[in-house]
Amino acid sequence: MANTVKTAILLGLLTALVLLIGSAFGEGGLLGAFIIAVIMNVGSYWFADRIVLRMYHATEVGPDHVLSRITARLVARAGLPMPRVYVIPDPSPNAFATGRNPQHAAVAATEGILQLLSEPELEGVIAHELGHVKHRDILISTVAAMIAATVMMLANLARFAAFFGVGRDDRQEGPGPIALLATALLAPVAAMLIQMAISRQREFAADRSGADLVGSPDGLASALRRIDSAVRRVPMDANPATAHLFIMKPFPTAGLLSLFSSHPPTEARIRALLGTR
């Protein structure tokens, strides 16, 4: 129940950001943002998983594929329904799970991760993703991705409007360009912080669940180390709004930006995993 309340609060905050940006355009903008927020929340519940899979050109694979065989073995052990299994045509190693519930879940992995990892390591990764499915993280993560993408899109629109002088002056209703620009710059940062709050602890929980499902933390710990190193060499051209979906942030960050990462530090995850022996 606490997890459900936290989820509702976090998604409410992301929705409030959409309304905040809309309000920067005046009453008409607020009404438009409210309509967008309603459509976005309803639509993302039913269609966000398909949108994300299509965004990354994922292709469903059959039961004979190694990814499907590993997944089938693990879901039988976990007592979960068999999810749809997809491969993403990208050389950067990564994976994610999506869907609105375990009965409508999907697991996706890149071609890069299939080439990089051994089968025990890949098993650890898929077990991690099934941990997200079991804990029902996949709905909040996918919906948050869609809302965050909308926040960023509206923020870009607000920046464009501010630069071209859209907004009020002292004689007009609505915000001034400076207020519009400030809203446009701060909203994506707020969306990033909310994504971080959604994602970080859930990654630790999914790591523990994956290790328990496989029976050992070694495969997942080794996979995390290898993925982290490979992502630095071959980053993924991923939408930042969807970064928290992946098992590893799909592009490296440094300096102050690393403080706002959607994922915990890889070494901290590995220490937590190996400390559970």
Residue 90 and residue 57: Cα distance in Å, rounded? 9
pLDDT value, residue 76: 97
Quote the tokens at residue 218.
């070694």
Q: What are the residue numbers of the active site? A: 129
pLDDT value, residue 210: 97
Do 75 and 82 contact (CB within 8 A), yes or no? yes
Report domain extents, the chain: 2-274
pLDDT value, residue 260: 57
Do 33 and 19 contact (CB within 8 A), yes or no? yes
Do 179 and 125 contact (CB within 8 A), yes or no? no
Quote the tokens at residue 13.
């905050």
Q: Which of 90, 139, 50 is nearest to 248 (CA)?
A: 90
- Residue count of the chain, please give it: 277
pLDDT value, residue 165: 57
- Residue written as tokens 């099934």? 130
pLDDT value, residue 40: 72
pLDDT value, residue 183: 61
Q: Taking the chain (277 residues) in consecutive chunks of 10 residues, what is each chunk's mean pLDDT?
A: 61 75 73 78 78 96 98 97 98 95 96 98 98 88 73 71 55 54 64 64 92 97 97 92 89 61 88 81
Rg over alpha carbons for the chain, rounded to the nearest Å, is 20
Q: What predicted TM-score, i.e. pTM, was given to this entire model?
A: 0.79
Task: List Cα–Cα distances, 147 to 16, 157, 196, 201, 220, in angstroms.
Answer: 10, 15, 14, 20, 30
Q: How far is CA 259 from the centre of its chain?
A: 17
Residue 215 and residue 227: Cα distance in Å, rounded? 21
pLDDT value, residue 272: 95
Do 142 and 11 contact (CB within 8 A), yes or no? no
pLDDT value, residue 251: 87
Residue 82 and residue 64: Cα distance in Å, rounded? 14
pLDDT value, residue 144: 73
Residue 100 and residue 21: Cα distance in Å, rounded? 27
Q: Is the sign of the CA dihedral 236, 48, 103, 193 positive or negative?
A: positive
pLDDT value, residue 171: 46
